[in-house]
Chain A
Amino acid sequence: MKSILLTTVAVAIIGGGILYGERLAKDKPRDDGRVVITYWEKWSAFEKEAMEAVVNEFNDSQEKIFVKFVSVAGISNKITLATAGGVPPDVAGLFGGNLAQYAYHESVMPLDELAAESGISPDDYIPVYYDMCTYRGKLWALPSTPASTALHFNKAILREVGWDPENPPKTIEELDKLDKLAAIKNGDKMERMGFLPTEPGWWPFAWGPLFGGQLWNGYDKLTLTDPDVIRGYEWFGSYAEKYGSGTVQSFKEGLGTFNSPQNAFMDGRVATVMQGVWMANFIEMNNKDLEWAAAPFPTPADRPDLVNPTIIDLDILVIPRGAKHPKEAFEFIKFVQSQKGMELLCMGQKKNSPLKKVSKEFIENHPNPYVQLFTDLAYSPNVIVPPKTPIWPQLSQEIRTATEKINGGTDPKEALQDVQNKMQPLLDDIVKYEKARGVLTEEEIAKAKAGGKP
């Protein structure tokens, strides 16, 4: 009797567990009959809140669609798995640099038709941002928030070392000079540097292009050992060489995380830093009293043609393949693309707008006093954009490893040759496949040969 009772209880608990688990996995329909679309986004904190405000605005304006906003960490892997598993969200917010990979595998939907129907035109956007949403002639995404970068400098340190704080370095040579002046070395330890190429170290691919080198020809050949690329990495490596690679590494490791008062730039341990449009906001949060300004990043003195370089970052919205409500999903994306939606979002995230048309209030009320500079830089002919190729996730990691090797004393040419040798065959496979599928057309190749830049 007792054992029957026990068995019954056990079966009941397990059954309950199964049923409850199943219920959790189901989407709950809404009482008002609106179509619920799921939107996965990578952001956290205030960036997430800014997008939530846009989502709320959209939901309030709607009677047919309801957007369920979900914040997801490690979104790149997650979205691949969910798409492969047949349970993708309806909209996903991804990193623009990875778009080529999604487009190549067609794991996101082409948006050309939906965009045309909605009257969204390439002419609405700053060219570089729209271009980042395309791959092999098709549109696969639309921007959420864009960014560009500039040199941020600590005016107090410049003044302290006798540098005119209104006149930051314009050439790489001047930057090196400023670094020499501002650096403080105490025995084996660095206490301050004028500039540190690995702080924050988010764009290891940018140093070659900064010196005019191209990482590839735009369609089938990597050119990582191009003399200009190597020159960029020689300069990058010169900082570890100058002070000793171990010393610089220890210094770097002692620096606090980006979003904290211990951030190297915020607490005055580096005098200048390459940072994005978001930096002003973090300075405001973590060290209000910092006396700082922003200017275009310096260029080599012998390359005046490269002035106003800027690294372009873009967050994008996509509709994963297999999404249950693509039409409704695009309704929401369209709302984000409107000037109103976009300015609400970009203002909330303290970034510039990817749209050409910007309201006066946006610039005037923007919390970043240099928002105009960042907007202008996005129009620069010398924008630095990650190569639009499906091998980018791996290539960027390989380049990062190469920069670690260069910092450890390896010859830049050798380190880059390794990457070239490893990655070129992978690109070859992709080009072969794309040509066979007719995706890589003569028109595309001609465009790449013409410079590839928008």
Chain B
Amino acid sequence: MSLNRPKTGGRTTHPGLLASVQSSQSTGNARRRFIQQAGALATGTLAAPGLLLAQPAPIKVGVLLPLTGAVAFPGQQSREGVQLAFEDINGRGGIRSMGGAKLEALVADAQSQPQVGAAEVEKLHEAGVCAIVGPYASAIALASTQAAARYGIPCLLDEGVADQITSRGLTNVFRFGPSYEMAVKIGINNFHILNTLAGKPVRTVVIVHEESLFGTGTANTIARDLPALGYEVLEVIKHANPTRDFSNIALRIKARNPDVVMQANYLNEFALLLRTLQQQGVKPKVMYSIFGGGGSNPKVARELGAAAEGILDCNHWYNPKDKRGAALRMRAEKKGLTFTHELLMGYNATMLLADGLERAKSARREAIVDALSASTWSDHFMPYGATRFVNGQNQGAQPIVTQILKGEVRVVLPNTFAEAEPVFPTSRG
């Protein structure tokens, strides 16, 4: 370090060298001063909780989401929801049972990759988080929940709908929303109800899906379960991500002429296929999706106009009868955001954690896990009722059916939550 240097430097040799030695000495002094000050600051901070009892230490919460990469958009949407929840929780005075402790978010980017998600869990653990909210994608969740289990960190899934995540016996995982199997079952059931109520105008179905776990799994389950209800699946069409041109698929659908087209894919392809169907004049009587990429996205509804009109989607959505859902939506839209289910579920997962912390009265991980496992949280605006966790899955969770009507996403089923009459079949027929 600079302390040894003056000896070898020789003060009389060269003015330039002298200057540099002096400056290095003064840098050394400055550095020492800085360290002293920083030390004082650190002690001050540590002493503060003792001095100011009204300000308990903040509770560190890990927010693990894909903020870059392939699923960056839903990940960022979820983060916005988490952020709104933090504002709400801290705004109303923090966690009351813990003397009003505020929540502090430690945001980590899973980069749309499972292994990165798992690695980020290690960092969050090091940083001392009490729980982790996220990580949107099922593939990331499989890895991150496993990594978190080693340290007993409670994981509150925002979406991560794959059933495997909660069926591995991990006690630290909690999913507030419906799993994928639950959603497909309810989704098909709801579809059947809509068709039956309308006098069964549709019978034949073509399924279009993207080629990864989510699309293939959904498509296979739908194709397996529909025939038992009296429907005929004419064709199951798989496509790559990204697909730049849907003309061929549109032509195949046109040749099959199904009553119903069901999509299981992501936003870009969802929208592109809709547009191509519209262009090719393919007008199935019903467009229905389960966890559809854009079927309940208000921006798709607006931007695609006629091509999106009448689309039904069975997805995560708030109870429209509860004013708080609409209020959250207004707040998000005021910030210039599109209100999507990812944002909604990010918000929910964080609020569930806040309830768990209230019940646990502690930021200890085991205490939170115990509190969540036994929780009966009903102070939310989802159509779920009070929470009841079995193997980490909230049993009352259910998706609801929305329809794009006059460019707006409206809830049409189940009846208890409906804000508009379903149009079935849509005017497309």
Q: Do A and B come from one complex?
A: no
Residues of A within 8 A of B (CB): none
